[in-house]
Amino acid sequence: MAQIYDSIAEQFKKFYSLPFALHVETYTHLNLIGDVTGKSILDLACGEGIYTRLLKQNGAARLVGVDISSEMIKLARQEEEKEPLEIEYIIADVTEIGFIDSFDLVVASFLLNYASTKDELLKMCHTISANLKPGGQFISLNNNLDLPPEFYHKGEKYGLAKSCPGSLQEGTPLTLTLTIADDGEKVSFDNYYLSKATYEWALRSVGFKDIRWHNPIVSPEGVQKFSQEFWQDAIDYPYILGITCQK
């Protein structure tokens, strides 16, 4: 896993300029997170730190970012050097890191879909729970595992392609290919299918309650710029889902 992101770290940054990333993904994520003023936040699978920085800039008191890829963390630290926000970055595997501190909020966008087994998912959930204060919230975005493969092509007009070998079974690899530039440049990586029931089992097993799944939403600016019709497939065949729950 680390090696995949080490080799695409620089390229992956381009994804965040895509209309889908700006008007659906980031907008949905920040809406779910809400007001962060004064909060301590752990960002697991922070990548090069795009959300980590945004949350600190939006008023969070403390931010710690963790990622398994040393190249992703190198990019995050470079940004921290350019514009210091007092964010701490740690290179580590979420399944192994254990307790760092007690945070008000743990975010982990697109972490859980890297678990290929129930056991791996449970370990990730253990780390999330171990780092939350009682009553703290976990908020995440995830590949929408419920989307039937016959609708995968609906993401293509947003630069999001997905494929799987045959039917979806627990642990089936899903290959995601993102078109990240107008010249057709692409990056590919694998996620894994585990059912929603398995996710809910893992979250409940480590003490989470009030587990909710959220459909993505489109920013008003995105609708104005590209039209409601353009985004309708992103709403009707969600490529991503939000997850929220409470310790």
* 125 contacts: CB under 8 Å, gap ≥ 6: 112, 202, 203, 205, 206, 208
DSSP code for 71:
H
Compare residues 68 and 234 and give the one whose CB is closer to ligand SAM.
68
Return the bridge partners of 139, or none. Answer: 107, 244
- Please answer whether residues 177 and 186 qualify as being in contact, where contact means their C-beta atoms are separated by less than 8 angstroms: yes
Least distance to ligand SAM, CB of residue 158, Å = 15
Instruction: Between 96 and 229, name the residue whose CB sits nearer to ligand SAM.
Output: 96
Residue found under tokens 């791996």: 120
Of 135 and 145, nearer to ligand SAM (C-beta) is: 145
**Which residue's CB is nearer to ligand SAM, number 74 or number 167?**
74
Q: Min. distance of Cβ 229 from ligand SAM in angstroms?
A: 27
Smallest distance, Å, CB 111 to ligand SAM?
6
CA–CA distance, 190 with 114 (Å, rounded to integer): 8
Write down the least CB distance from residue 93 to ligand SAM, Å.
4
Cα separation, 181 vs 155, whole angstroms: 16
Binding site for ligand SAM (CB under 6 A): 1, 5, 45-47, 50-51, 67-69, 72, 93-95, 109-111, 114
CA distance 215 to 231: 13
Residue 90 or 223 having the CB closest to ligand SAM: 90
Name the closest residue to ligand SAM (Cβ). 47
In the complex, least distance from residue 186 CB atom to ligand SAM, rounded to whole angstroms: 14
Q: Tell me the pairing of strands 173-179 and 186-192.
A: antiparallel
